[in-house]
Structure 1
């Protein structure tokens, strides 16, 4: 496969790419500089892959050599293509576990950042109790609501086709429309795409902007845009990754993402861009809206103020207090979800379970009030079955056991 066909995961797995990121020399620097100059559309993908490799190689406490050999054997037994990684360097605990998660599907939260439980009070392990396990990983599915209120179910294997939009059940693609303003309906129809718990979906808007929507999200947007006029969409709630079609291709039209959650409280947050990549997380049950810039530049307006974000920066807007803070973050952790991985850094077990609840469409409760605050770093492959994840948690000796009743999970 040629580099121009690579996605983030492909770059992370490539031995020459890893060598350039971790141990660059004049030859590799020159090659990648020339290649990126010839393929500017790949700059964002390469930047995210670089951060992924760098994070995988983060230095932490090492496993014993016996554990390293056992883990590598498990990786190699499952997928021989990562064999070339083994002898590159002495990988750290985090590296090995995250490689296992990304390449094999092994649950990588085994690397425990912080253990807040008293080992002497947890009690002995107990066998799990499983009663009618109905929990499965999420899939590509969504509901499209048309202007007249008609609802169309989108899912794998189901085709939907109209003159201006089509879907193969895994993505929704609108026909590109660039009519002049005088030939365009001044108020084009508006569609709404709703992603349920246990779902995800990809959409290409009429202007060519690409949007990845996470579980329990809703996007409202016009079916056509007018060149020269603002292109506005609404992330009603949930999480979305935007790869915006440049304004230079639309007679200078800026792209704006409105956040109705803030507006409903008398506030206002508008993300305005010319052409860039960014992630917005605005779940209804969370008090903060997170806007993270991956590539380019955005202007974020709120309460009469404007914040200019640069790559790797995140703006956290507190909806209730109408206040915000700007900080530098590890973008890989924020956007890994769209590449099939949930990545966490110093996340509490409660926060991790909030994410998994949406993806697996389940309800999690804690049988021990000390468990929610335990912190982890690591990655979870989204294809993993819930019982495999829970068994990995038992392996950390954080929880003694778990119960599954239908779509409910109890951690003890």
Structure 2
């Protein structure tokens, strides 16, 4: 299943699908093999209510498919109302916000209806924004609607594109691109390498590369997805990504690196090609669909097979969580929404989670869902701080 279709399904079940989204979903689901994929996806990621554990859950899914067809005809009648929200799917499977599956919870228990306390809620989803630091130390703010030109690059506020230079044998100048909490950005280096940077990340890189020399960039901290320009069109020069504790050597490939300052693990996930990861005087080769986990404290590493679409979905507008604790989830959300999270009830921080979340979702919808499922009793929002009780 493509990331686009997965995103549309998430939007549909989150009650935020547009008429155009619904058209695409309907055409895709016409194929019998896609109908099975849809059923499996809903069952795996959205089977939250007890209805899905009922012997008639197949019937429930069939009804869900029927509603999609029914809503498609409705979409044509209101096709100019792009913001129309389709709520029927959530009603059918008994959900308020069908994104979450927490383990070891009895969802049909009575849930207290304590109204949340909200004081000056200033929380919004992340947007395109970054700080570009030039080699002379001057800084430029990159944000949507703001056009910036430098000697070597230009930005329309959503991407930073460097000029491709055929020859550069002089002294290498470096720029830094810093993505604050609540931001993300795309950059294309002078060699054609494409990099997507997640919230709270920093990349150091040359404005151009010397011919025949190793192309080296540094992920100072944070998370980045690399689509590396092949060595065959760059004078057979290797491409190397370094950070404080490891070095990744590639020849032309796609991979994701997650190395946040407040986490003790570095995750390197390979999508395509082959990479060599060097750390603690060791070398480890990983192949597609593998993830290398290196622990900075113990200096130990492990490799496991992963669903790479889950690992890189953040750059496509989705958060996919698989057996993540509420503590881990809120850490991800704190970067994306630029918030602070306080667990007044420490026990709930270990609750585990499986599911998908659209990155443009309102934070109050997310918190209300967790509350409705009995994970938290109350929550409070004070400006950009969330207190979970």
Q: TM-score, normalised by structure 2?
A: 0.80
* Aligned equivalent of 1:281: 258
In the TM superposition, 1:236-385 aligns within 5 A as: 236-260=220-244, 262=245, 269-385=246-362
Q: Is the 2:128–2:158 contact (alpha carbons within 8 Å) kept by the matching residues of 1?
A: yes
* Aligned equivalent of 2:154: 166
* Aligned equivalent of 2:175: 191
Q: 1:9 aligns with which of 4, 15, 30?
A: 4
Q: Is the 2:118–2:380 contact (alpha carbons within 8 Å) kept by the matching residues of 1?
A: yes
Q: What is the root-mean-square deviation of aligned Cα atoms in Å?
A: 3.4
* Distance verdict in 2 for CA 1:111–1:320, change over 3 Å: closer
Q: Is the 2:3–2:309 contact (alpha carbons within 8 Å) kept by the matching residues of 1?
A: no
Deviation at 1:125, TM superposition (A): 3.2
Distance in 2 (CA, whole Å) between partners of 1:53 and 1:224 is 48
Q: 1:124 aligns with which of 112, 117, 131?
A: 112
Q: Does 1:145 align with 2:133?
A: yes
* Aligned equivalent of 1:133: 121
Larger CA deviation: 107-116 vs 225-234:
107-116
Deviation at 1:69, TM superposition (A): 7.9
* Distance verdict in 2 for CA 1:319–1:59, change over 3 Å: closer
Deviation at 1:178, TM superposition (A): 2.3
Q: Is the 1:110–1:395 contact (alpha carbons within 8 Å) kept by the matching residues of 2?
A: no
* Distance verdict in 2 for CA 1:151–1:394, change over 3 Å: same
Count of aligned residue pairs for this structure pair: 349
Q: Is the 1:336–1:343 contact (alpha carbons within 8 Å) kept by the matching residues of 2?
A: yes
* Distance verdict in 2 for CA 1:116–1:287, change over 3 Å: farther
Deviation at 1:285, TM superposition (A): 0.4
Q: Is the 1:363–1:407 contact (alpha carbons within 8 Å) kept by the matching residues of 2?
A: yes
Deviation at 1:67, TM superposition (A): 6.4
**Which stretches in structure 2 are left out of the alignment for 5+ residues?**
8-23, 77-88
* Aligned equivalent of 1:88: none
Q: Is the 2:267–2:291 contact (alpha carbons within 8 Å) kept by the matching residues of 1?
A: yes
Deviation at 1:17, TM superposition (A): 8.8
Distance in 2 (CA, whole Å) between partners of 1:331 and 1:18 is 26
Q: Is the 1:172–1:204 contact (alpha carbons within 8 Å) kept by the matching residues of 2?
A: yes
Distance in 1 (CA, whole Å) between partners of 2:381 and 2:241 is 39
- SS of the residue aligned with 1:111? strand
In the TM superposition, 1:53-132 aligns within 5 A as: 58=44, 63=52, 107-115=97-105, 124-132=112-120
Deviation at 1:408, TM superposition (A): 0.6
Deviation at 1:68, TM superposition (A): 5.1
Distance in 2 (CA, whole Å) between partners of 1:8 and 1:81 is 25
* Distance verdict in 2 for CA 1:21–1:327, change over 3 Å: farther
Distance in 2 (CA, whole Å) between partners of 1:220 and 1:81 is 50
Q: Is the 2:46–2:99 contact (alpha carbons within 8 Å) kept by the matching residues of 1?
A: no
* Aligned equivalent of 1:89: none
* Aligned equivalent of 1:44: none
Q: Is the 2:45–2:100 contact (alpha carbons within 8 Å) kept by the matching residues of 1?
A: no
* Aligned equivalent of 2:194: 210
Distance in 2 (CA, whole Å) between partners of 1:298 and 1:240 is 15
Distance in 2 (CA, whole Å) between partners of 1:402 and 1:78 is 34
Q: Is the 1:109–1:376 contact (alpha carbons within 8 Å) kept by the matching residues of 2?
A: no
Distance in 2 (CA, whole Å) between partners of 1:386 and 1:60 is 19
Deviation at 1:60, TM superposition (A): 8.7
Distance in 1 (CA, whole Å) between partners of 2:66 and 2:281 is 57
**Which stretches in structure 1 are left out of the alignment for 5+ residues?**
1-6, 25-49, 84-95, 101-105, 263-268
Deviation at 1:394, TM superposition (A): 1.7
Q: Is the 1:178–1:226 contact (alpha carbons within 8 Å) kept by the matching residues of 2?
A: no
Q: Is the 1:114–1:376 contact (alpha carbons within 8 Å) kept by the matching residues of 2?
A: no
Q: Does 1:221 align with 2:211?
A: no
* Distance verdict in 2 for CA 1:55–1:206, change over 3 Å: farther
Distance in 2 (CA, whole Å) between partners of 1:393 and 1:70 is 26
* Distance verdict in 2 for CA 1:127–1:309, change over 3 Å: same
Q: Is the 1:147–1:191 contact (alpha carbons within 8 Å) kept by the matching residues of 2?
A: yes
CA deviations on 1:256-305 (whole Å, 9 max, x unpaired) are 00012x2xxxxxx1101011100000000000110000111111111221
